[in-house]
Amino acid sequence: MRIVVPAGGIGGARFLRGLRAVLGTGAGTPQEQSTGSITVIGNTGDDITLFGLRICPDLDTVMYTLGGGINEEQGWGRDGETFTVKEELAAYGMKPTWFGLGDRDTATHIVRAQMLAAGYPLSAVTEALCDRWKPGVRLLPMTDDQVETHVVVDDGDGRRAIHFQEWWIRHRAALPAERIVSVGAEEASPAPGVLKAIDEADAVILPPSNPVVSVGSVLGVPGIREAMAAKTVVGVSPIIGGAPVRGMADACLRAVGVETSAGAVAGYLGADLLDGWLVDEADAGTEVEGIEVRSRPLYMSGPEATEAIARAAVDLAVELAAGKGERG
């Protein structure tokens, strides 16, 4: 079964570990035992240039998590990390100091910066980095063009736009966001292979990533949403019982005027896109017009739980695809 997954950072990456187990595409699984393939369309809206380096948080989080190099409790950055480069930059008075630039992680950013400077597109850079990490999925950036998520805030110094990372890391998304803007999205094109992978997919699964700045950013690249809407799409709610499982998706939802609930997020993603929506038992009874809602435990409390959630998503997609077939 060929599955396409538009993904963001931590929640998406963890879900992908479970989906990889369901399809038997995990690292070390002999090819013949694999029952399918996974193409991840990674969000690049979080990307930021700092100290001459191009940093791609969501691509790196997926790559490290599936490649076995992630800092597990943090959910981002490398395991066994040190911060000597960060300290030395601060000693030179370099700004910003709020970004947690790790030494091991910096090697990834140097490889990326060097390849980009040599003229390679981000998709080629990502493929080269994955040659080392072997994530067991095909990881494509949503676009090779520059798209960045910026947040319009007004904190008494007057209204201004700041980079998503500054809002997220420095301000912990506590500055009320008047608007979230995907700068450059209108002019961007899907990266090579993205539309083909969607077209050839048996299903699209939306992981419990941030619906606004992660899944939303991927859907905002012209052509991607339409291509996905033509497929059977099943999503996993990132909101349980009115709160995000982790991260600050509620701050993002507030910025776009959407209630922090499993049902409201499904409505925000749209019934034109979503065929099925998994919600936690806490949200059983959620109904969304035009979307088949099913409830089950959604806490990714460990590998078994995560695999069971991924399997439920795949099973619902198979069920709905068959139904679609009947309806023609």
Number of chain residues interacting with ligand FO1 (CB under 6 A): 18
In the range 168-187, which residues lie near ligand FO1 by CB under 6 A?
168-169
Provide the b/e sequence for 231-251 (b: ≥16 CB within 10 Å): bbbbbbbbbbeeebbebbbbb
Cβ 302 to ligand FO1, closest distance in Å?
A: 21
| Given 4, 6, 7, 9, the residue binding ligand FO1 (CB under 6 A) | 9
Closer to ligand FO1 by Cβ: residue 165 or 286: 165
Report whether 175 contacts 167 (CB < 8 A).
Answer: yes
Q: Which is nearer to ligand FO1, 34 or 49 (CB)?
A: 49
Q: Which is nearer to ligand FO1, 8 or 216 (CB)?
A: 8
Nearer to ligand FO1, 167 or 277 (CB): 167
What letter does residue 321 receive in the DSSP assignment? H
Left (φ > 0), alpha (ψ -120 to 50) or beta: where does 321 sit? alpha
- Binder to ligand FO1 among 51, 99, 120, 268 (CB under 6 A)? 99
Going by the DSSP 8-state scheme, the letter that residue 261 receives in this structure is S
Q: Which two tokens stand for residue 156?
A: 């008494």
CA-to-CA distance for 69 and 240, rounded, in angstroms? 28
CB closer to ligand FO1 out of 16 and 312: 16
Chosen residue from 76, 133, 167, 277 binding ligand FO1 by CB under 6 A: 76
Judged by CB under 6 A, which of 4, 5, 53, 60 binds ligand FO1?
Answer: 60
Smallest gap from residue 218 Cβ to ligand FO1 (A): 12
Q: Which residues pair with 179 in a beta bridge?
A: 152
Query: How near is the Cβ of 147 to ligand FO1 at its closest, in Å?
Result: 14
Distance CA 100, CA 71 (A): 13
